[in-house]
Amino acid sequence: MIQSLRGMNDILNQDYERYEYFLSTASTIAKRYGFHYIETPLLEETALFKRSVGESSDIVGKEMYQFTDKGENDVCLRPEGTAGVVRAFVQHKLDKKGGIHRFYYHGAMFRYERPQKGRLRQFHQFGVESFGVDSVYEDALMIMMVADILKTLGIGYRLKLNSLGDHHCMPAYREKLVSFIESCGDALCDDCIRRKSTNPIRVLDCKSESCQNLYVNAPKLIYNLCDGCQSDFDTLKSILDAHNIGYEIDTNLVRGLDYYSKTAFEFVSDAIGSQSAIAGGGRYDRLIEFLDGKPTPAVGFALGIERLMELIVMPEPIREGYYLGAMDSESLGDILKIAESLRKEQKAVVEYEAKTLKAHLKGADRINARYCAVIGENERLNGTVWVKDLAKKEESTFPLTHFTTKEDK
Ligand code: HAM
């Protein structure tokens, strides 16, 4: 039997109900904040991710589904959504138009990681990207939006916050950090020694305990910010305080993608095991120009849908619509007619097999219908329909014409 690939899951039955519930909740909230849907391709030129997420990142360096297509193009399945949205923003010349552009998206992302609970090779993100606002109030808005989505879904979280500085303060900090890394000598792992020359700040989120013990004494970017970054970070904290959104400063939070500057944040859950990051984001003011666009400030985030699905508190299901069944095959024609008419306004699910009343009532319960409508020989001869309201537990008999529209009669 052919099975799905490792780390790539089907989403069906109750999982799909959760998935749909998540999407409708998050999309409704994103629209309320003024974001519009954008869809970008799953396959992009590899260069897009090399130039945005960064060649030194694990995502680009180790985890891309990259291949040469039949036209000899170097392409890859998107490992994340931001780069594609920025490409579309520049390609459609919205950078030249100016003003504020806010997008949301959702869909599959691909990373060739080692699969484990909460870590997939094909997973789904819900993300938003905001272009054209350099005020830190927009960063706060992003965080408030994630908090809003998580609260609506009944999900508890911890928020980790950091500032990655900008092109004014980052270079001097990088030099300080490199000197510190050099002072550690051979005590560091091979990855950290490699990162010293590719992207030194990534050493700070090294998973090795012995490296982390050394980095306790490393210089912290948060104490080396320039005045502009410091003032933005202070404002961000005071907005979150004013909105009762708790946070912890995590000076090692550098994120796994190279495009960030200033605000970086991650929402984590303590209830889903080691893969605890449920959302991540931040500001990326330089990325639009790196991808040949007009310099435009930008900020965004993405939520990991599979991780959230473990945590969502689903609302009590409400019974809705009709289940329709026949007790003999001669009544099926009438059942189909009623269903067609009802379906113009509500759910109407037909069971094609003639069954006993008890079996139909079970069927109605299974699909969570509000009403079970059945026609047997008696009803057919009398031109009536037997209906049970499964919420109120009341039974009634209606003339068939009660259900058919004027044109049907
Ligand atoms: P990210 O932190 O790489 O950010 O991913 C966002 C979320 O996707 C993570 O917090 C996690 O919940 C989920 N996720 C990541 N990898 C996996 C995986 N292998 N299996 C399951 N879930 C996973 C980004 O992708 C940025 N593009 C976010 C962003 C948007 N920043 C600015 N705008």
Distance 224 CA to ligand 1 centre (A): 27
pLDDT digits over 76-131, tens only?
999 999 999 999 999 999 999 999 999 999 999 999 999 999 999 999 999 999 99
Residue 205 has pLDDT above 80, yes or no: yes
Distance 302 CA to ligand 1 centre (A): 6
Confidence of residue 196 (pLDDT cuts 50, 70, 90): confident
Q: Write the residue with the smallest CA distance to atom 30 of ligand 1.
A: 301
Q: Output the CA angle 349-351-355, nearest 5 degrees.
A: 145
Taking the CA of residue 196 as centre, how many other CA atoms within 13 Å lie in the half-sphere pointing to its CB?
Answer: 18
Architecture of the domain whose range is 322-403: 3-Layer(aba) Sandwich (3.40)
- Ligand 1, pocket-test mutation among 5, 125, 286, 311, most atoms within 8 A of CB: 125
pLDDT at 121: 98
**Mean residue pLDDT across the chain:** 95
Lowest mean pLDDT among 44-48, 370-374, 399-403: 399-403
Q: Which of 327, 390, 341, 339 is nearest to 364 (CA)?
A: 390
Distance 83 CA to ligand 1 centre (A): 13
Q: Which atom of ligand 1 is nearest to the CA of 119?
A: 20
Mean pLDDT of 376-394: 96
Better-scored residue on pLDDT, 10 or 207: 10
Residue 407 has pLDDT above 60, yes or no: no
Q: What is the domain partition of the chain in residue ranges?
A: 15-169+225-309, 322-403
- Ligand 1, pocket-test mutation among 307, 308, 310, most atoms within 8 A of CB: 307
CA dihedral 277, 283, 285, 286 (to 10 degrees): -20
- Cα separation, 66 vs 408, in Å, equals 56
Q: Write the residue with the smallest CA distance to atom 3 of ligand 1.
A: 256
What is the residue-wise DSSP string for 169-233?
THHHHHHHHHHHHHHHGGGS-HHHHHHHHH-GGGGGG---HHHHHHHTTS--GGGS--HHHHHHH
Mean pLDDT of 170-178: 93
Q: Specify whether the CB–CB gap between 158 and 270 falls below 8 A.
A: yes
Q: Specify whether the CB–CB gap between 62 and 32 falls below 8 A.
A: no
Q: Which of 191, 192, 256, 225 is nearest to 183 (CA)?
A: 192
Q: Is the model's pTM score more than 0.85?
A: yes
Superfamily name and number for 15-169+225-309: Bira Bifunctional Protein; Domain 2 (3.30.930.10)
Confidence of residue 409 (pLDDT cuts 50, 70, 90): very low
Mean pLDDT of 189-211: 88
Q: Write the residue with the smallest CA distance to atom 15 of ligand 1.
A: 304
Lowest mean pLDDT among 132-136, 137-141, 327-331: 327-331
pLDDT at 191: 86
Identify the H or E element spanning 341.
helix 332-342
The CA radius of gyration of the chain, in Å to the nearest whole number, is 28
Q: Specify whether the CB–CB gap between 346 and 297 falls below 8 A.
A: no
Distance 353 CA to ligand 1 centre (A): 46
Q: Write the residue with the smallest CA distance to atom 13 of ligand 1.
A: 304
Q: Which atom of ligand 1 is nearest to the CA of 280?
A: 2
Distance 12 CA to ligand 1 centre (A): 22
Pairing mode of beta strands 122-131, 158-163: unpaired
Mean pLDDT of 332-348: 95
Task: Tell me the percentage of the chain whose pLDDT exceeds 90.
Answer: 88
pLDDT at 193: 87
Distance 14 CA to ligand 1 centre (A): 24
pLDDT at 405: 59
